[in-house]
Structure 1
Amino acid sequence: MGTTGTPTNITQGSGTRGGIGESTLRPDGTLKVTGEFAYSSDMWHEDMLWGQILRSTVAHAEIVSIDTAEALATPGVYAVMTYDDLPTDVRHYGLEIQDTPVLAHGKVRHHGEPVAIVAADHPETARRAAAKIKVEYRELPVITDEASATAPGAVLVHEGRTDHHVGHVPHPNILHRQPIVRGDAGAAARRADFVVRGEYTFGMQDQAFLGPESGLAVPAEDGGVELYIATQWLHSDLRQIAPVLGLPENKVRMTLSGVGGAFGGREDLSMQIHACLLALRTGKPVKIVYNRFESFFGHVHRHPAKLTYEHGATKDGKLTHVKARIVLDGGAYASASPAVVGNASSLGVGPYVVDDVDIEALALYTNNPPCGAMRGFGAVQACFAYEAQMDRLADEVGMDRVEFRRLNAMEQGSLLPTGQRVDSPAPVAELLRRVKAMPLPPERQWLSAGEEADVRQLPGGLSNTTHGEGVVRGIGYAVGIKNVGFSEGFDDYSTARVRMEVVGGVPVATVHTAMAEVGQGGVTVHAQIARTELGVAQVTIQPADTRVGSAGSTSASRQTYVTGGAVKNSCELVREKVLEIGRRKFGAYHPAWATAELLLEGGKVVTDGGEVLADLTDVLEDEAVEVEAEWRHRPTEPFDLRTGQGNGHVQYSFAAHRAVVEVDTELGLVKVVELACAQDVGKALNPLSVVGQIQGGTTQGLGVAVMEEIIVDPRTAKVRNPSFTDYLIPTILDTPTIPVDVLELADDHAPYGLRGVGEAPTLSSTPAVLAAIRNATGLELTRTPVRPEHLTGTA
């Protein structure tokens, strides 16, 4: 494989150039790297106003009064709105549970909650006017962890809950609880020859996407509104926005604007409703752009977690049981927390065969920042803990850590703790074998006296803190399992409209979906699918908007699977209509029109033997064929609320990592030298994009391993580091070599046999780095991220 990141084992496409299996370049790639790409924050409209949000300065308090008079009197201000100014009785929204107020009412529940909104003719005017709004708070006790949330007499974050989860949780401050019980873990524990127990802490991670939240709302002549927005799910936004505005959905017309990354942070609404409210109030276009500071408060984060695990094994290394308790901090509002709980619990054992399992996962309501979707979605936190446990248990048994994993690895046909059988390839043992077999990076040759070191290659980097003294190398392994697509009975579907016609004497296909292109390369794949299925070279991708049916969310590694499936399905229906036209026009001249299997390839109609029957331009002439169709994956079902049993997931993705690190044990500095990855992708529709996804997910996992954490003051629940000065993310100098070995084992249930790619590498990269640091230092290291004080004993 080498260290270039070039994939192996990837088959190439055939037929029309630029189709499935080829490394087709992204149409937006050059624009993005040269800075010419138009993001949503670049939008402009004549006579445009600027919106600004006033946010709470405390985490939990009653709102005694709000005085907007001085703000309204500011020259250039067109509108100031609070909760009382909202136009309808629908004043809350949410992905699953509508518990989030459009603007705070009665009290605020987290630091940075929106309280009022302002529209003015200049962004600085709007900012100054918002600062003039006087809010009087009466602070309340803060709920920050499980102990304070469930203590006798604890203050309720949400009084009078009526959502569908409240009936199966033991306390109103517990948002959702999901047990997974199979077999008898207690009896199995008594039979175990070795038992290890551990408590683990996972920090709050930010998506840290490139472009902060932004959008432009333009009032329409029909009383509706046009919203140009960077989001992950246009139709979900629409479903939440329209009732608050008091408009039918057909009068809230949404168009996707340039999205600067997402990673789950744009699944929830941010400024969408606020911009629309101000535009409708003022009758003018309103643009809102968060700065980076505000963005830390404007979207959900990855759930911090406390995880307690017990693993047992026989003397020959077979797992006997797993017990676990996973407590996720959901923060002030529900967001996607119930689904995150479902993932953390159902995938909490990892990609291993264990007959006896007892897992409890729950999410809390607290006054900490709201948490929800982020790449890996609950499986990341669990993987960090169970992989640490697997290392410890392998050491107790006296086995090689990789071989211990391979001995217990699931495979196709294995049963999950939920009772669901894995009915597609699950090459866990093979991925571990492959990643272990990849060549190790050479040992660093420390310089003799008088020679100058390249400090960029050393722990501490350009801080120039070490020249190799006290530096120790460590190696660690990890593997993870991630579900693909929406689960637990969610009606997961997507819609695609495909049109085929002759334009300028050339057959052209046009693809229109509502898929949010957030940087994952979906628009490239859609063009590849159309070229493959329709045999045309020229494909136009229409901008995503709500004029076409829903494509669901760009999350859960689902878009290539589900929206790609919808594009494929619609293309197939278009192809059949084109062939019907051809049979009608030319069927009398050649018997193959009626007797042969016909394909569209290279702009022609051909038989499966390669005989050309007609040019597509002759078949279509002045005719056009258009189809809009939905596509669904296989149905899933909710997990039983008592036992967690059920066929809750549709597909699984697996990745294994080997981390090589160098640790300055005196200063507590870490340099990740390499993060090798082996991953099964089912079918690489675009090999270059697949490797990019794996390397990107790997780097995000590295970030949470050694540097990324939102720090929340446990006394006040206030965020202490809402900036990239204090919240660190990996730069190019922190990113190691990431060689990738891509395996393609087709899933017969999925379009082209593909498997969702983007999330799995985010799981196993984090515990692999921690395992390597433990290997170098001999320390237990039970929390992320690892900080220097954890390595030097000064924590």
Structure 2
Amino acid sequence: MGSTRTTGVPTKLTQGSQTKGGIGESTLRPDGTLKVTGEFAYSSDMWHEDMLWGQTLRSTVAHAEIVSIDTSAALAMAGVYAVMTYDDLPAEMKNYGLEIQDTPVLAHGKVRHHGEPVALVAADHPETARRAAAKIVIEYKELPLITDEASATAPDAVLVHEGRTDSHMKHVPHPNIVHRQPIIRGNAAEAAKKADVIVKGEYTFGMQDQAFLGPESGLAVPAEDGGVDLYVATQWLHSDLEQIAPVLGLPEEKVRMTLSGVGGAFGGREDISMQIHACLLALRTGKPVKIVYNRFESFFGHVHRHPAKLYYEHGATKDGKLTHMKCKIVLDGGAYASASPAVVGNASSLSVGPYVIDDVEIEAIALYTNNPPCGAMRGFGAVQACFAYEAQMDKLAAKLGMDPVELRQLNAMEQGTLLPTGQVVDSPAPVAEILRRVKSRPLPPERQWESSEGADVRQLPGGLSNTTHGEGVVRGVGYAVGIKNVGFSEGFDDYSTAKVRMEVINGEPVATVHTAMAEVGQGGVTVHAQIARTELGVNQVTIHPADTQVGSAGSSSASRQTYVTGGAVKNSCELVREKVLEIGRRKFGSYHPAWATAELLLEGGKVVTDGGEVLADLVDVLEDESVEIEAEWRHRPTEPFDLKTGQGNGHVQYSFAAHRAVVEVDTELGLVKVIELAVAQDVGKALNPLSVLGQIQGGTTQGLGVAVMEEIIVDPKTAKVKNPSFTDYLIPTILDTPTIPVDVLELADEHAPYGLRGIGEAPTLSSTPAVLAAIRNATGLELNRTPVRPEHLTGT
């Protein structure tokens, strides 16, 4: 799983290029050893003296009126300190939500999905809390279910949310549609007349779980000032704070949040889960309350990736030039809005893919249904679209008799391309090049399971299940490429804050970096230290724990943290550097003219000129002084997409990845073995090459999962989740993970800090359709849904 790196336009490092552990080096994670040895403290490991345990009672039906709730038996149990329902909530504000505050803290009047929180229990032991919750008696009167577009948008459809008043209501054709975004450019109907070939497809994308390894957990501690201190695993401390404080009836300064160890996220921790419930119980009992979900409850406690229906039409001339594209994307948002409006914006604006098409007609919608709520997940709407448009490219290539990679390259966007939204791509877009690189890589040897000692079943479809020895196994190769936006979009005020302090400790210059960035496994704590070493020329950097005592860093999502919070750290370091040099000029400037005339650098703990002459030691400059600056950093602004035409400069930056998948399929048993997933991706600048490699390989594996195994199964008759466990919801293990060679391009984006490009999501897009393309190549089947199951390959 090695990588190769190709550097294009170089980026200049303005400071500290000789400082060990700076930008461009593969520095190791400070938490890495603790995590792999099991010693790292996650939020579920927290403990407090005299702590109580919280438990949530969830609905057993998907859509029903709540006729009555009887909590008397639970309250009578020994060891139970509190039972709370909607009527016990302390503040006038009883709902929360990322954009639309439509999610009740506890269900009121009715429940809208299977697993919705209805009541809370606090007890002196987790088993006591669970038994008490089970004694709460709830009488339901079931209501008709809304489960798909037909039932949601029928003229007489039951409304999932009666009396909607949010801003999206003004432009949706039905109250059960959360948000609608059309994009119209050119005239697709007229352009279709010029097409020599037209292909259509209907695609189904299954509901994927983030499947992070640390279930939701946290500890709420009541404070003497009437407030609460919350220690929690989350993706966005300040967004949580803005949602938590109003429903507690507290000012934000009395809700103090500290990030605890996070066991992965992938979007599933952007929404509130147990945060409010733990705080409510802590304030009600006056004791610390800890809540830890088990895996079963975790499947109900967070949002999932939107399942989707996608309807596409593409046309092309006989020489392969795309003439037009029409599509409709229907995302199932489930019972509550979460991030659905933004996911719709992404799905629609990226639905064309990394291709030049002048005439498009696009519509994307998200539905309210009684299915599980869906929201942010790695790829954020672009994943579903990529699956469909890449399948369309293969269909077109087959109908035209063209090589599928050549067709893509012929129509590939590049720097300067005008997108269907009217935005110009103003940074490198090496789509044709990354496709060339994955195609030119040598293929892995065939029939690797054969050896002189006998068959190695681990290399066969079915693996250690020993179901085949190679009979009926055929190979397939497939390609895909995708485009993903970086950062928050559509006019959102996306910024981050960093506080940097520089001082002398024990005779050594030390920098401390304090942000509210949620370290969810992406490696930001490493990159922030690298930036500080580079900009401040020090070797010793301390990363302060993330909390709400510093300005917001936004969410650890949208591939934005290295770009935005890294930019904030860089900005604050630059301001600190100038202040340190001011101190030096005041102390030593009269003794050496270079203080006034030269470009001064901080490097290796010293002040040096641009010619390398040492002027002073940083220890002597600072002595008993210290410098601390907190500053924000914003990227260039975006704007909302027009709600009728979809035009607008809605995105900050774009990232691109291409995959070639090599699979072997047992066509008799319907088993698939992915042998290799080769990747080429432009990262702008690899701030930490080792972390870059891990992000690309991790995203690739997550895309593999949804291609061949991952799907939350919801019973269409009851809207109940059928497989809420890792026994029945399968994720790739090391035995399922193929070789993932990575080719890294570094083509700088001049608008971004160090020229970097967000990288975490792009590989998740194209790995899924590449695997499907390879399976189609092996079997000749159409395969228009994810994940592919054995029955889809055998017809049984």
- Name the TM tier (shorter chain): over 0.9
Distance 1:561 1:267 in 2: 19
Question: What TM-score does the superposition give when structure 2 sets the normalisation length?
Answer: 0.99
Asked if structure 2 preserves the Cα contact closer than 8 Å seen for 1:653 and 1:680, the reply is: yes
Indicate conservation of the 8 Å contact 2:7/2:747, yes or no: no
Alignment partner of 2:193: what SS?
helix
Deviation at 1:727, TM superposition (A): 0.3
User: Does 2:570 correspond to 1:572?
Assistant: no
Query: Of 124, 138, 146, which aligns to 1:135?
Result: 138
Measure the CA separation in 2 of the matches of 1:150 and 1:194: 33
Work out which of the residue numbers 745, 766, 769 in structure 1 matches 2:768. Answer: 766
CA distance in 2, matches of 1:464, 1:41: 38
Contact 2:714 2:720 in 1 (8 A): yes
Unaligned runs of 5+ in 2: none
Counterpart residue identity of residue 700, structure 2: T
Q: Is the 1:675–1:765 contact (alpha carbons within 8 Å) kept by the matching residues of 2?
A: yes
Over aligned residue pairs, what C-alpha RMSD do you find?
1.1
Between the aligned partners of 1:296 and 1:542, the Cα distance in structure 2 is 32
The match for 1:60 is 63
Out of 614, 617, 639, which is 2:616 matched to?
614
Name the structure 1 match of 2:739.
737
Structure 1 spans left out of the alignment, 5+ residues: none
- Displacement, 1:152? 2.4
* Letter in structure 2 aligned against 1:758: G
* 2:702 is equivalent to residue 708 of structure 1: no
Are residue 96 (structure 1) and residue 99 (structure 2) matched? yes
Q: 1:641 aligns with which of 618, 640, 643?
A: 643
Letter in 2 for 1:684: A
Task: Write the distance in 2 (CA, Å) between the matches of 1:718 and 1:112.
Answer: 8
The answer for the alignment partner of 2:229 in structure 1 is 226
Whether the 8 Å CA contact 1:698–1:761 is kept in 2: the answer is yes
Post-superposition CA distance 1:216-254 (Å, at most 9, x none): 000001100000000000000000000000111000000
Following TM superposition, where does structure 1 have runs of at least 4 consecutive aligned residues deviating by more than 2 angstroms? Answer: 3-14, 445-448
Q: Counterparts of 2:583 and 2:258 in 1: how far apart (Å)?
A: 34
Residue in structure 2 matched with residue 561 of structure 1 by the alignment = 563
Q: CA deviation at 1:609?
A: 1.0
Tell me the equivalent position of 1:4.
2
Is 1:50 paired with 2:53? yes
Q: Deviations over 1:175-201 (max 9, x none)?
A: 100001000000001111110000000
* Partner SS for 1:418: coil
Structure 1 CA distance for aligned equivalents of residues 761 and 228 of structure 2: 35
Q: What's the CA shift string for 1:442-498, capped at 9, x where partnerless?
A: 1125648x9531111100011110011100000000000000000000000000000
2:585, 2:84 → 1: CA distance?
63
- SS of the equivalent of 1:74 reads coil
The amino acid that maps onto 1:520 is Q
Counterpart-to-counterpart distance in 2, 1:599 and 1:434 = 39
Deviations 1:250-302 (A, max 9, x none): 00000000000000000000000000000000000000000000000000000
Q: Are residues 1:652 and 2:654 paired? A: yes
Q: What is the letter of the counterpart of residue 165 of structure 1? A: H
- Is it true that 1:243 corresponds to 2:243 in the alignment? no
1:345 corresponding residue in structure 2: 348
State the shift of 1:440 in Å: 1.1
SS state of the match for residue 174, structure 2?
coil
TM-score (norm 1): 0.99
Deviations 1:109-133 (A, max 9, x none): 0000000000000000000000000
Who is 1:531 aligned against? 533
* Partners of 1:458 and 1:468 within 8 A in 2: yes
Q: Distance in 2 between matches of 1:623 and 1:783?
A: 63
Establish whether residue 751 from structure 1 lines up as the match of residue 749 from structure 2.
no
Code of the residue aligned with 1:702 in structure 2: it is L
Structure 1 contact 6–691 (Cα < 8 Å) conserved: no
| Number of aligned residue pairs | 791
Decide whether the 8 Å contact of 1:7 with 1:691 is kept in 2.
Answer: no
SS at match of 1:191: coil
TM-aligned CA distance change 1:447 to 1:435, over 3 Å: closer
Amino acid in structure 2 at the alignment position of 1:578: V
What is the correspondence of 1:684-695 to structure 2 with a 5 Å cutoff? 684-695=686-697
Cα separation, 1, equivalents of 2:598 and 2:400: 62
Deviations 1:531-586 (A, max 9, x none): 00000000000000000000000000000000000000000000000000000111
Instruction: Give, in whole Å, the separation in 2 of the partners of 1:210 and 1:509.
Output: 32
Q: Deviations over 1:746-791 (max 9, x none)?
A: 0000000000000000000000000000000000000000000000
> For residue 117 of structure 2, what is the amino acid of its counterpart?
P
Shift of 1:438: 1.3
Pairwise CA distance, 1:7: 4.5
Which amino acid in structure 2 is aligned with residue 68 of structure 1? Answer: T
In the alignment, the residues of structure 2 paired with residue 648 and residue 157 of structure 1 have an alpha-carbon distance, to the nearest angstrom, of: 30
Distance 1:447 1:606 in 2: 62
Letter of the 1:776 counterpart: A
Give secondary structure in 2 for the equivalent of 1:307. Answer: strand
In the alignment, does 2:308 pair up with 1:310? Answer: no
Matched residue, 1:214: 217
The 5 Å alignment of 1:445-464 reads 447=450, 452-464=454-466
Return the offset for 1:398: 1.8
Give distance in 1, aligned partners of 2:721 and 2:446: 41
Q: Which residue pairs with 1:325 in the alignment?
A: 328
Report if aligned partners of 1:471, 1:665 keep a CA contact under 8 Å in 2: yes
What corresponds to 1:496 in structure 2?
498
Instruction: Tell me, in whole angstroms, the C-alpha distance in 2 between the residues paired with 1:67 and 1:243.
Output: 27
